[in-house]
Structure 1
């Protein structure tokens, strides 16, 4: 019996990765992120039609597994599912929160604490089947500790408060060529300020030779451990897994923090897609 054609999506605030699975063939596509907090159903449908379908060359999935940021409540799940159903009316559509993507990709069918450190941040304790505990995420204004938006906000604060020394101020101005008014305009008046703040995080990777950058990184990731990892009693008995661009680029700091707090570091993945592909292959 031929295997079903499956389409798996991992959608964050910034971008969506799609993996088409047909037998042993694998194709990967990309579109912008589709958070139901920032897009309505019509915009999600339009994004899929204009950005994804032209890449798929007419392929039609029989099953769609969509994992997305903001898909943690029934209303958002229903909206995303309805939008995708309009694009593929004959397909079976399943919508999960992106935290389930992280849990399945990182842990498979074993228990563990799974965390996302990308544009935003989140975490959970996963028992191998379901998400049992989830320390509430508060978004980039009140929370998102350790995320790209959180770390980017720290960079901007260091610059605008003149905490950076002359050398770091020069490096910042050379790279971004922005002033205070432009920064405030992007944060307070333009759409998707979380993406804007996260866009400053490459500055951290490029300047790790400076102690102020290390301070931002260590403090930001330590806040994630203190406010989230520490809230799961299971953190001391199961591996801690991480995915996301921040986790991947600064995995050495995650390793140091796990060693410091006597915790077991598990998998660190740049994104969940390979793990999700393996998970859905086994179904």
Structure 2
């Protein structure tokens, strides 16, 4: 029995092949978001970046956990691409939040949070997602995400809020300007991924008060607007997964203490938990 597990965000997608319960291969491709890619575009990613590495392995089951797949129309887009790539395989397509919940909580109750390129959260009762704070995407929401934090960095730069030291570092690192930034945000594809790329500037300049303010304010917006809406947040452990949560886990811990939440686990990515679940 060959099982293919996929965990996809907007920036990257991790694929893992299990053969008779044992991990055989792990492959990383570009992210797959049905908000930005149609079935043909997703098919191109799979055929170009995944299938050549698979070496014609016959897949029996595909379990796909992906961003945007809570939307039924988006789910159909992904299913169509997977059906063409893996004819005859059983397809199970659901959203990345369910993947995170299974990886973080297993069969236990808890609050599951994603803080990566985008952000999301839910109350998981050990079997299903019972409550989900609305995800509004990177333009209206995604508080605490890489796109949200990166947008703050860009705002500070374009509004000339960065002090002289940080502005010098920004110019030296990116060699860009307002025209190029606005072009990438408003006219080029995958603007959320572009904005999220500026979180690296935050990572590289930790300790500066402006940088710490951006990180703390951005993550606090996630806590206030989402976690505080769950009554269960004060009763159950709160788990986090994603590059932002893991990279700024010290701030996540401090905010949990401030809000008197019980912090559960903080994982960089959910695949290890998903492997255990499907084994």
TM over 0.5: yes
Q: CA deviation at 1:172?
A: 0.7
Displacement of 1:26 in angstroms is 2.7
1:13 and 2:10 correspond? yes
Return the alpha-carbon distance in structure 2 between the equivalents of residues 60 and 11 of structure 1: 21
Over aligned residues, Cα RMSD in angstroms?
A: 0.8
For residues 26 and 224 of structure 1, the distance between their equivalents in structure 2, rounded to whole angstroms, comes to 37
**Paired residue secondary structure (1:30):** strand
Displacement of 1:44 in angstroms is: 1.1
2:194 pairs, out of 174, 196, 205, with: 196
- Count matched residues: 278
Deviations 1:76-120 (A, max 9, x none): 112211211111111100001010011001101101100100000
The one of 58, 71, 74 equivalent to 1:73 is 71
Structure 1, unaligned runs of 5 or more: none
Question: Which residue pairs with 2:154 in the alignment?
Answer: 156
1:22 partnered with 2:19: yes
TM-score under structure 1 normalisation?
A: 0.97
Q: How far does residue 25 in structure 1 lie from its aligned partner after superposition? A: 3.6
Aligned to 2:278: 280
* Map of 1:177 onto structure 2: 175
Tell me whether 1:109 sits opposite 2:76 in the alignment: no
> SS at the partner of 1:49?
helix
Quote the Cα distance in structure 1 between the aligned partners of 2:58 and 2:41.
21
1:54 is matched with which residue?
52
**What's the CA shift for 1:236?**
0.5
Q: Which stretches in structure 2 are left out of the alignment for 5+ residues? A: none
Give the ranges of 4+ consecutive aligned residues of structure 1 lying more than 3 Å apart after TM superposition: none
Shift in Å, 1:16: 0.6
SS of the residue corresponding to residue 16 of structure 1 reads: strand
| Cα displacement (A) at 1:27 | 1.0
1:59: Cα distance to partner?
1.2
Q: Aligned partners of 1:204 and 1:31: how far apart in 2?
A: 25
Q: CA deviation at 1:206?
A: 0.6
Counting only pairs closer than 5 Å after superposition, residues 220-239 of structure 1 correspond to structure 2 as: 220-239=218-237
Q: TM-score, normalized by length of structure 2?
A: 0.98
Q: For residues 169 and 73 of structure 2, what CA distance do their matches in structure 1 show?
A: 45
